[in-house]
A and B are shown apart, each in its own frame.
Chain A
């Protein structure tokens, strides 16, 4: 490995990138615009669920009950219907996601001390939204039931209403949210987005850069030159690595300044861990480029090995802890998961090397395996 040759190769690659103005600007615009769009766009909170009401009772009590839903910021009241048959097309067309049916004689039965069944229909198409809506419905119903029961007890036992309410709910829950007190999804999304963007863009840059030489045939210049394999790989990839490292800094600044995510950890540790992560994802692109002969194939393989796991197995949308064993295993095969822990830990929890050394080690191992595999698989002699 001669530094001068590496320098020459890196310089040649850098000139080539510089002259492709569109490509150069996209290499920086894509990460920044993705960060902006997702930072402002991803909101996992379930709010304003559109719902309709079928009130077959139409009494003061049924209206009181329904107002609990209408006044909640989690639900968005869309109107009353006259019969159960009208609800079905509304649900099928996704005009509403949820419906409540209050039976006839709701007030009369409750006043007479008879139990009543209230039906709610929930759209099950999007499971996360379904379970969250179900949680809201149960909570509202429990609150109303508690009030009913407290009223009943205070009448029957002759205790004041305040005391009756305490009797009904003897155990209070004090919830404390750690690391993200107001559950701002933006705070967790900004660090996670760094993981996502740095997983997607470097492999594309790298894979296409190398395969382009293969497809154009300009790689034969390298094959016939005195440059060794290791020199070629290092020199070729240095500029791409450099671009990604600059992107790390830009994205970190955006997370902290634009999205106001708190950064509690050690900046130097986080920066070094990010460089290791970027060398991992660049390595993925490198490995892909050695298998693919055409740029189209390189592009599709990169999609397969980066975008899909980035969406599914990185903890961005689906928490890894709640996956089944097989998916958890797959998640451990991709570097994204480790970096998500590092990013969230550094930003929100303020922990460093002491707790995260295992994750950093995994990334380091991952990256060296990729680079060694690339070195072993790259041949200057074309095999036919």
Chain B
């Protein structure tokens, strides 16, 4: 072995041992802040459990009825507004009371059945029921409109068949098609699968930006960065251990919440390859910590850093595609979504965890994420190194 190779392998050893020492320093520092550790643990377990309990569908929306007919036909229609979507909130005597209940938020919908409703039905004359819906919450309003339209339409259809003397068996001779829709990947449409995974991805995003940024700004604010700068460490050796340590913490937390909460409590299927998911998560964490480092170079204290992180993070989270479908977005925003790392990460994560997709199918999203990741992380590192040149 020549002298020079010994020397280079020695310096490689030294480089790694410094990295290891700095990484363990970061982990120790984190572990000693009990409140911070508790907050991180809470985010990965209880918080995801709580999110999984949130339902997105219309559930037991209160319907009050103004029935001007009081006939068997009107009663049959009223009793079709049943759980899980609706529940009956009683009968009202006049329109004004309905408006009052809607104003107070005590009812979501008022169903108004006209006089002579049954009479008209039997005579085969078209009749009209009125539905008033509180749409101040757009999601609830749209769902209530859609479901009540379905219920009333089905009722009318049944009434028409009955009048023409056709029964369900008789329908076999009628040219109609049967709608057989199947929902894939989440056949029972369990909100808990979607909500818990989406919350996990949000938590990862928050931590991946905040922890490394905070670790970097703190050294500046307390002045301990001066000690590090006079040590034989290069800027990369100061910065990389922070990112590596926080990535380790995040991967550990992710494993915890996948096994304990998402699989353990909500029984979401882990269809795809978990190593692939963790590799993607590590890549994503690096990307977001690059953004965090960038913020840390711009700010002198944590208060500044926190405000800037919120400003960058909230649009990333809300415009990630999990809440707002990219297809429905205006063009400008849709294009902005394509440069959001979380957009790719969410697609890939759901595709791996729920759909069981592999690299063969996901390569384009993965390519997008890794390109974006190396760009952002490289930029963060460049900014971080540059601030020491002054």
Beyond A118-B178, A170-B127, A179-B134, list 13 extra A-B contacts (CB 8 Å): A20-B300, A29-B311, A42-B319, A47-B328, A112-B175, A122-B181, A122-B184, A148-B177, A180-B141, A295-B218, A303-B206, A315-B137, A341-B105
**Cross-chain pairs A/B with CB under 8 angstroms, 9 sampled:** A30-B307, A41-B333, A44-B323, A119-B182, A169-B153, A212-B303, A293-B35, A307-B206, A315-B137
* Chain A proximity of B62: nearest CB distance (Å): 8
Q: How far is the CA of A172 from the CA of B307 in the complex (A)?
A: 53
Q: How far is the CA of A46 from the CA of B59 in the complex (A)?
A: 19
Indicate if the CB atoms of A91 and B355 lie closer than 8 Å. yes
Indicate if the CB atoms of A38 and B318 lie closer than 8 Å. yes
* Chain A proximity of B358: nearest CB distance (Å): 9
Binary contact readout B273-304 vs A (1 if CB under 8 angstroms, 0 otherwise): 00000000000000000000000001111111
B314 surroundings in chain A (CB, below 8 A): 34, 37-38, 200, 307
Indicate whether A295 sits within 8 Å of B302 (C-beta atoms), given known contacts A118-B179, A170-B156, A304-B43.
yes
State which of A221-229, A269-277, A343-351, A362-370 sits at the interface with chain B: A343-351
Indicate whether A152 sits within 8 Å of B132 (C-beta atoms), given known contacts A169-B157, A170-B124, A200-B310.
no
B173 surroundings in chain A (CB, below 8 A): 113
Q: How far is the CA of A184 from the CA of B356 in the complex (A)?
A: 37
State which of B1-9, B49-57, B256-264, B375-383 sits at the interface with chain A: B49-57
Task: Give the contacting residue for A37; candidates B121, B184, B319; CB below 8 A.
Answer: B319
Indicate whether A173 sits within 8 Å of B135 (C-beta atoms), given known contacts A137-B181, A149-B174.
no
Main SS of chain A's interface residues? helix
* Chain A proximity of B76: nearest CB distance (Å): 11
Tell me, yes or no, whether A121 is within 8 Å of chain B by CB: yes
A-B contact count (CB 8 A): 417
Task: Give the contacting residue for A130; candidates B58, B171, B183; CB below 8 A.
Answer: B183
A70 surroundings in chain B (CB, below 8 A): none
Q: How far is the CA of A131 from the CA of B144 in the complex (A)?
A: 12
Q: How far is the CA of A129 from the CA of B119 in the complex (A)?
A: 40
A126 surroundings in chain B (CB, below 8 A): 194, 322, 325
Indicate if the CB atoms of A183 and B121 lie closer than 8 Å. no
Task: Give the contacting residue for A89; candidates B156, B194, B361; CB below 8 A.
Answer: B361
Q: How far is the CA of A209 from the CA of B299 in the complex (A)?
A: 15
Q: How far is the CA of A351 from the CA of B210 in the complex (A)?
A: 41
Task: State how many residues of chain A have any CB contact under 8 Å with chain B.
Answer: 133
Which residues of chain A (281-331) have a CB below 8 Å from chain B? 291-297, 299-301, 303-304, 307-308, 311-313, 315, 317-319, 321-324, 326-327, 330
Task: Give the contacting residue for B143; candidates A40, A42, A131; CB below 8 A.
Answer: A131
Q: How far is the CA of A26 from the CA of B206 in the complex (A)?
A: 19
B135 surroundings in chain A (CB, below 8 A): 177-181, 183, 188
Binary contact readout A235-274 vs B (1 if CB under 8 angstroms, 0 otherwise): 0000000000000000000000000000000000000000
B185 surroundings in chain A (CB, below 8 A): 91, 123-125
Closest to A75 in B: B327
Task: Give the contacting residue for B357; candidates A93, A205, A296; CB below 8 A.
Answer: A93
A297 surroundings in chain B (CB, below 8 A): 33, 35-36, 39
Indicate if the CB atoms of A323 and B55 lie closer than 8 Å. yes
Top 9 A-B pairs ranked by shortest CB distance?
Answer: A124-B186, A171-B156, A135-B146, A26-B307, A208-B303, A300-B39, A124-B183, A295-B302, A48-B327
Indicate if the CB atoms of B323 and A121 lie closer than 8 Å. no
Which residues of chain B (115-171) have a CB below 8 Å from chain A? 120-121, 124-143, 145-150, 152-153, 155-157, 159-160, 163-164, 171
Tell me, yes or no, whether A72 is within 8 Å of chain B by CB: no
Q: How far is the CA of A268 from the CA of B183 in the complex (A)?
A: 50
Indicate whether A188 sits within 8 Å of B137 (C-beta atoms), given known contacts A41-B315, A124-B184, A295-B214.
yes
Task: Give the contacting residue for B175; candidates A121, A148, A181; CB below 8 A.
Answer: A148
Binary contact readout B321-347 vs A (1 if CB under 8 angstroms, 0 otherwise): 011110111100100000000000001
B22 surroundings in chain A (CB, below 8 A): none
Tell me, yes or no, whether B350 is within 8 Å of chain A by CB: yes
Q: How far is the CA of A209 from the CA of B302 in the complex (A)?
A: 10
Indicate whether A308 sits within 8 Å of B325 (C-beta atoms), given known contacts A89-B361, A93-B362, A178-B102.
no
Indicate whether A115 sits within 8 Å of B176 (C-beta atoms), given known contacts A22-B304, A291-B35, A297-B39.
yes
A89 surroundings in chain B (CB, below 8 A): 361
Indicate if the CB atoms of B306 and A319 lie closer than 8 Å. no
Indicate whether A43 sits within 8 Å of B330 (C-beta atoms), given known contacts A173-B149, A204-B306, A349-B103.
yes
Tell me, yes or no, whether A176 is within 8 Å of chain B by CB: yes
Tell me, yes or no, whether B191 is within 8 Å of chain A by CB: yes
Closest to B39 in A: A300
A345 surroundings in chain B (CB, below 8 A): 103, 105
A230 surroundings in chain B (CB, below 8 A): none
* Chain B proximity of A200: nearest CB distance (Å): 7
B128 surroundings in chain A (CB, below 8 A): 171-174
B221 surroundings in chain A (CB, below 8 A): 215, 295
Closest to B43 in A: A304
Tell me, yes or no, whether B180 is within 8 Å of chain A by CB: yes
Indicate whether A177 sits within 8 Å of B35 (C-beta atoms), given known contacts A33-B311, A40-B333.
no
Tell me, yes or no, whether A127 is within 8 Å of chain B by CB: yes
Tell me, yes or no, whether A145 is within 8 Å of chain B by CB: yes
A351 surroundings in chain B (CB, below 8 A): 103-104
A220 surroundings in chain B (CB, below 8 A): none
Indicate if the CB atoms of B183 and A201 lie closer than 8 Å. no
Indicate if the CB atoms of B57 and A171 lie closer than 8 Å. no
Indicate if the CB atoms of A172 and B183 lie closer than 8 Å. no
Indicate if the CB atoms of B160 and A120 lie closer than 8 Å. no
